[in-house]
Amino acid sequence: MLVSLLLFACSTTPGPGPTAQVAQTPVAEQPDGEAERMQLTLNPRYLSYDEEAGTVTFSPDSDRMSASYTHYVISLDNLEEVLGGRPEAEVTVTFEIGGKKERNTVPDDPNLPQPEGGFNNTTWIGRIIAAE
Domain segments of the chain as ranges: 20-27+36-104+118-132
Q: Are 76 and 51 in contact (CB under 8 A)?
A: yes
**Helix extents (H) in the chain:** 2-12, 76-83
pTM for the model: 0.73
Q: What is the mean pLDDT of residues 69-93?
A: 97
Q: How confident is the model at residue 105 (pLDDT cuts 50, 70, 90)?
A: very high
Residue 33's pLDDT band, with cuts at 50, 70 and 90, is low
pLDDT of residue 3: 42
**Over 90: is that where the pLDDT of 121 sits?**
yes
Q: Report the alpha-carbon distance of residue 94 to residue 131 in Å, rounded.
A: 6
Q: What is the CATH number of domain 20-27+36-104+118-132?
A: 2.40.50
